[in-house]
Amino acid sequence: AQTVTQSQPEMSVQEAETVTLSCTYDTSESDYYLFWYKQPPSRQMILVIRQEAYKQQNATENRFSVNFQKAAKSFSLKISDSQLGDAAMYFCACANFGNEKLTFGTGTRLTIIP
Amino acid sequence: DVKVTQSSRYLVKRTGEKVFLECVQDMDHENMFWYRQDPGLGLRLIYFSYDVKMKEKGDIPEGYSVSREKKERFSLILESASTNQTSMYLCASSFGQRGLYEQYFGPGTRLTVT
């Protein structure tokens, strides 16, 4: 069984600053996928970024990037130039290759301070 | 755009009632999922379906059942609702091809059992 841990229940950041959300995971598989999902208040959850474990290069999507440390089983999300629209719950998730079920962390609530 | 819809945003039911939560996706996805989301617990998988009439138990299936008679529709059934089933219920869907694990979520149904 895999586990995903988000140790920061809440985070806050000043608008335009950079914030990093932490995630660690544990899986016995060597091939897997990692995700960050965003759930804005009263809105649908959407995918922010994904990382294939076999890729050494860290994924980036505009202002969002990850720091993937495979040996440490760490997968943090960095948000640069934070905007008010980034305020949301962020969930880290993991899926083993060949198994399409995701295991989610408990989430981090991010507040943006104007 | 992928669209996943859920029959109700808010639902109030009494203890002992039979409750149906409906989910419809319009992208011909093979996989569909039901989660419940509780503060501090993240998303927990209730049931998963990888094809019509096929289902698989998730992490917390007790007290729930599911039905998938058509590819686009996945129903969650609470046979006899209890107060500890008060929660946010999220439906999701994904392609069934290996390597495409992204799940698309519905807006959620907030169920209150009194």
SS3 sequence of B9-71: CEEEECCCCCEEEEEEECCCCCEEEEEEEECCCEEEEEEEEEECCEEEECCCCCCEEEEEEEC
Residue range B27-42: mean pLDDT, rounded: 93
If pLDDT is split at 50, 70 and 90, which confidence band does B98 have? low
**Phi, psi (5° rounding) for residue A109?**
-85, 120
Amino acid letter, residue A81: D
Three-state DSSP class for A49?
A: strand
Report the pLDDT value the prediction gives residue A100, as an integer from 0 to 100.
Answer: 79
The verdict on a CB contact (< 8 Å) between B98 and A97 is yes
What does the DSSP 8-state code read for residue B83? G
Facing residue for B42 by CB, picked from A35, A91, A97:
A91
**Structure tokens given for A42:** 């009263």
Mutate to test the interface with A, among B103, B104, B109, B110 (most CBs of A within 10 A): B103
The verdict on a CB contact (< 8 Å) between A91 and B43 is yes
**Per-run averaged pLDDT (10 residues), chain A, 114 residues:** 93 97 94 94 92 92 96 97 97 87 94 97
User: Which helix H or strand E contains A110, and what residues bound it?
Assistant: strand A108-113
For chain B, the first-to-last Cα distance in angstroms comes to 37
Strand partners, A9: none
R_g of chain A, CA atoms, integer Å:
14
Three-state DSSP class for B3?
A: coil
**Structure tokens given for B36:** 């419940």
Report the pLDDT value the prediction gives residue A114, as an integer from 0 to 100.
Answer: 95
The verdict on a CB contact (< 8 Å) between B101 and A35 is yes
Report the pLDDT value the prediction gives residue B71, as an integer from 0 to 100.
Answer: 94
Distance from CA of B16 to the nearest CA of A (A): 28
Q: Which residue has the higher pLDDT, B83 or A30?
A: B83
CB contact A105 to B (< 8 Å): yes
Strand partners, B48: B33, B56
Q: Which residues, numbered 24 to 63 in chain B, qualify as contacts with chain A under a Cβ-Cβ cut-off of 8 Å?
A: 31, 33, 35, 40-45, 48, 50, 58
Residues of A in contact with B45 (CB under 8 A): 101-102
Task: Write the CB contacts of B15 (distance below 8 Å, at least 6 apart in sequence).
Answer: B81, B82, B83, B113, B114
Residue range B86-93: mean pLDDT, rounded: 96
What does the DSSP 8-state code read for residue A59? P
Secondary structure of A5-30 as H, E, C letters: ECCCCEEEEECCCCEEECCEEECCCC
Facing residue for B101 by CB, picked from A9, A91, A95:
A95
Reply yes or no on whether the pLDDT at B16 is more than 60: yes
Facing residue for A100 by CB, picked from B31, B40, B108:
B31
Report the pLDDT value the prediction gives residue B100, as an integer from 0 to 100.
Answer: 63
Cβ(B49)–Cβ(B19) under 8 Å? no
The verdict on a CB contact (< 8 Å) between A101 and B102 is no
What does the DSSP 8-state code read for residue A41? T
d(CA A102, CA A34): 9
Cβ(B97)–Cβ(B27) under 8 Å? no
